[in-house]
Amino acid sequence: MIWNENIECMDRDSIRKIQSIRLKKIVEHVYHNTPFYRKKMQELGITPDDINDLDDIAKLPFTTKLDLRDNYPFGLCAVPMSQIVRIHASSGTTGKPTVVGYTRKDLSTWTECLSRCFTAYGADSSDIFQIAYGYGLFTGGLGAHYGAENIGASVIPISSGNTEKQITLMHDFGSTVLCCTPSYSLFIADAIKDSMMPRKDFRLKIGVFGAEPWTESMRKEIEEKLLIKAYDMYGLSEIAGPGVGYECECQNGTHLNEDHFFPEIIDPKTLQPVAPGETGELVFTHLTKEGMPLLRYRTKDLTALHYEKCSCGRTLVRMDRILGRSDDMLIIRGVNVFPTQIESVILEMSEFEPHYLLTVDRINNTDMMELKVEVRPDFYSDEINKMIALKKKLVARLHSVLGLGVEVKLVEPRSIERSVGKAKRVIDNRKL
Ligand code: DLL
């Protein structure tokens, strides 16, 4: 099913026309209402009259997370506070949170985007949504909530955590759709297994997972453990929250709601656009946002875009799975390493659980990586030789994929701390 066929399946020329008109309008809006952008555009020697079609976007300034922090909390709002009806914020690891404000129309646009997502996953008014993303300043809970209500589904606003209660309600209320981070879904899967409640007594069929990078192997693992179909949902607070992008039944990339959020891929070093299909940093320009519209916001997420029509009939551009964030990329002895690469190696070997923790240190001026990984119960053994052989196998595989040596520590099942939200999988102790 398609929620908004007119837009989701619109031919490319028409979508570009709409994007062009909206771009011009939004540039005028920020120029006249956000002193930060007026100043930036004046510094570049441009006015809204210089922006006439999509190609002119390259003339516009970029925006970074630092700009949001410098204008904390409401400096980038383009409307008076009396028009802001919702405030969300995402806490970074350092400094002040990034704050975003929504007008009533922004909330309705966001809800429309989520309705497209949920419909693409095959959900409708007959479904019961268990929303186990955090409610609060994080956009996951409330964002998904409004979208699910809008398609007429029944919503259980349970938020994240309290895993025992999650599975009791999932069982008793007959939840059919679970929304949470992919890492938390594995925690829930283990809890269901421990509960001894037979799987046939649960009605769960769809998982809506996002908010952190996850791999194809992780998808397979979740689908096998929970006996559901797992879909990707992409988003970030600065742009809307969840629902910026979604998979369809073809699972051939994540469709972006590009009538509201115009995507570009740039080379993060040269800041120049790369060709379609090439990997680079994803950049978004708001096309319809009233409250806090951003021009060319650098997400730091690394991916590629594909413009060919999808077999589902949708023409909205498809984005590859997020490879990682450029700021999550570790540089180990000069080699680039993404946590998702490590996850793929662990999950392609049946002996390991998808739970791991990577610690990076600098010892005697040399970067060292230590990987703790859980062995599955049926492979975990007291026989030291078996464990040594298993460790060697993993070290060799990691070496061939990463081109680096990793110190591996095999640990007992369930010994690595679980997360109910975004998983923390890397600890970098280097003082760089
Ligand atoms: O994580 C919004 C969200 C909530 C998305 C629920 C999906 C589901 P932030 O906390 O601002 O917002 O974090 C945004 O998380 O830039 C990506 O690095 C990462 N991310 C989000 N979704 C995905 C995904 C929410 N599906 C940051 N795959 C983004 C990979 C994702 N990374």
Residue with tokens 């096309």: 287
Per mean pLDDT, which range of 85-99, 147-161, 219-233, 350-364 is the poorest?
Answer: 85-99
237 ligand 1 Cβ < 6 A: yes
pLDDT-above-70 percentage for the chain: 99
- Tell me the two tokens of residue 111: 């809800």
Ligand 1: atom nearest CA of 213 is 30
Q: What is the pLDDT of residue 431?
A: 73
Phi then psi for residue 173, to 5 deg, are -90, -10
Determine the distance separating the centroid of ligand 1 and the alpha carbon of 34, expressed in angstroms.
26
Provide the whole-model pTM: 0.95
Return the higher-pLDDT residue of 336 and 109: 109
256 in Cβ contact with 263 (< 8 Å):
yes
Determine the distance separating the centroid of ligand 1 and the alpha carbon of 211, expressed in angstroms.
3
Quote the mean pLDDT of the chain: 96
Q: What is the pLDDT of residue 323?
A: 92
Question: Mind listing the pLDDT tens digit for each residue in 1-35?
Answer: 999 999 999 999 999 999 999 999 999 999 999 99
Among 69, 90, 93, 234, which is best to mutate for testing ligand 1, by the most ligand atoms less than 8 A from CB?
A: 234
Which whole number is the average pLDDT over 90-102? 82
CB-based burial label for 337 (10 Å; 0-12, 13-18, 19+): buried
Determine the distance separating the centroid of ligand 1 and the alpha carbon of 312, expressed in angstroms.
24
pLDDT-above-90 percentage for the chain: 95
Q: Does residue 78 surpass a pLDDT of 60?
A: yes
CA-CA distance, 287 to 277, in Å (whole number)? 23
Determine the distance separating the centroid of ligand 1 and the alpha carbon of 253, expressed in angstroms.
16
Q: What is the pLDDT of residue 374?
A: 97
Q: What is the pLDDT of residue 163?
A: 97
139 ligand 1 Cβ < 6 A: yes
CATH T-level assignment (fold) for domain 335-428: GMP Synthetase; Chain A, domain 3 (3.30.300)
Which whole number is the average pLDDT over 285-303? 98
Which whole number is the average pLDDT over 44-71? 97
Ligand 1: atom nearest CA of 300 is 16
- Tell me the two tokens of residue 123: 């959900």
Q: What is the pLDDT of residue 328?
A: 85
Which part of the chain is CATH 3.40.50.12780? 70-327
Among 63, 236, 254, which is best to mutate for testing ligand 1, by the most ligand atoms less than 8 A from CB?
A: 236
* CATH superfamily, region 70-327: ANL, N-terminal domain (3.40.50.12780)
140 ligand 1 Cβ < 6 A: yes
Which whole number is the average pLDDT over 72-79? 97
Among 212, 219, 327, which is best to mutate for testing ligand 1, by the most ligand atoms less than 8 A from CB?
A: 212
Determine the distance separating the centroid of ligand 1 and the alpha carbon of 373, expressed in angstroms.
24
Q: What is the pLDDT of residue 91?
A: 76
Which whole number is the average pLDDT over 293-301? 97
Which part of the chain is CATH 3.30.300.30? 335-428
Phi then psi for residue 23, to 5 deg, are -60, -45
Q: Categorize the per-residue pLDDT at 64 as very low, low, confident or very high, splitting at 50, 70 and 90.
A: very high
Q: What is the pLDDT of residue 432?
A: 62
> CB neighbours of 201 closer than 8 A, spacing ≥ 6?
171
Q: What is the pLDDT of residue 329?
A: 87
Residue nearest to atom 4 of ligand 1 (CA): 140
Among 322, 323, 325, 419, which is best to mutate for testing ligand 1, by the most ligand atoms less than 8 A from CB?
A: 322
Question: Mind listing the pLDDT tens digit for each residue in 379-429?
Answer: 999 999 999 999 999 999 999 999 999 999 999 999 999 999 999 999 999
Per mean pLDDT, which range of 160-169, 221-230, 330-339 is the poorest?
Answer: 330-339
Ligand 1: atom nearest CA of 245 is 26
CA-CA distance, 292 to 139, in Å (whole number)? 15
CA dihedral 422, 424, 430, 432 (to 10 degrees): 0
Q: Categorize the per-residue pLDDT at 364 as very low, low, confident or very high, splitting at 50, 70 and 90.
A: confident
Which whole number is the average pLDDT over 222-242? 98
Per mean pLDDT, which range of 299-303, 335-339, 350-354 is the poorest?
Answer: 335-339
Q: Categorize the per-residue pLDDT at 365 as very low, low, confident or very high, splitting at 50, 70 and 90.
A: confident
Q: Does residue 92 surpass a pLDDT of 90?
A: no
Q: What is the pLDDT of residue 327?
A: 84
Three-state SS string over the chain comes to CCCCHHHHCCCHHHHHHHHHHHHHHHHHHHHHHCHHHHHHHHHCCCCHHHCCCHHHHHHCCCECHHHHHHCCCCCCCCCCHHHEEEEEEECCCCCCCEEEEEEHHHHHHHHHHHHHHHHHCCCCCCCEEEECCCCCCCHHHHHHHHHHHHCCCEEECCCCCCHHHHHHHHHHHCCCEEEECHHHHHHHHHHHHHHCCCHHHCCCCEEEEECCCCCHHHHHHHHHHHCCEEEEEEEECCCCEEEEEEECCCCCCEEECCCCEEEEEECCCCCCECCCCCCEEEEEEECCCCCCCCCCEEEEEEECEECCCCCCCCCCCEECCCCEECCCCEEECCEEECHHHHHHHHHHCCCEEEEEEEEEEEECCEEEEEEEEEECCCCCCCCHHHHHHHHHHHHHHHHHHHCCCCEEEEECCCCCCCCCCCCCCEEECCCC
Neighbours of 33 (CB within 10 A): 15
- At residue 358's C-alpha, the angle toward residues 372 and 192, to 5°, is 60
Q: Which of 299, 290, 165 is nearest to 236 (CA)?
A: 299
Q: What is the pLDDT of residue 93?
A: 56
- Tell me the two tokens of residue 40: 């930036």
CA-CA distance, 17 to 419, in Å (whole number)? 44
